[in-house]
Amino acid sequence: MPEIEVFPNPAAQRDYLIKHVCPEFTSVCPKTGQPDFATIELEYIPDESCIELKSLKLYYYSFRNEGIYYEAVTNRLLDELVEACKPRWMRVTGIFNVRGGISSVVAAETGPRS
């Protein structure tokens, strides 16, 4: 896995929202071996660190030939991105292309169970 680089938050004195939308995420279905395609929306309120955009692209790129399910990949993206930048809040939303006539969305965020 490539390192997710961060840089110092230029406005840590306030809570503000950053959103990165990548319509070019692709991994492989572990059952069929066929490629899956998704748009990944990442939203977070930075604390000390912001995620560097080019390293985020390379991080997403590292899933290209990995076999992983929708629910698992969304939660793993959240875990690893939280680990990298330790935000005040973060949400990851995976919007997956139609398979078998059904499209899917998985959305996970930090915080206690409601």
Q: Which residues are catalytic?
A: 29, 36
10 vs 46: CA distance, rounded Å: 10
| Least separation in angstroms between CB 97 and a copy of itself | 6
Q: Which residues between 7 and 26 bind a copy of itself (CB under 8 A)?
A: 9-11, 14-24, 26
96 to each of 11, 14, 20, 24, 78, how far by Cα in Å?
Answer: 33, 33, 16, 11, 16
| Token pair in block for residue 25 | 């995420």
65 near a copy of itself, rule: CB under 8 A: yes
86 near a copy of itself, rule: CB under 8 A: no
54 near a copy of itself, rule: CB under 8 A: yes
The position carrying tokens 């998704």 is 38
| Token pair in block for residue 105 | 């969305």
Contact 27, 63 (CB under 8 A): yes
37 near a copy of itself, rule: CB under 8 A: yes
| Token pair in block for residue 20 | 């990165």
Q: Cite the annotated binding site for substrate by residue number.
A: 51-53, 70-71
Residues near a copy of itself, by CB under 8 A: 9-11, 14-24, 26, 34-35, 37, 46, 50, 53-54, 56-57, 61, 64-65, 69-72, 74-75, 97-109, 111, 113-114
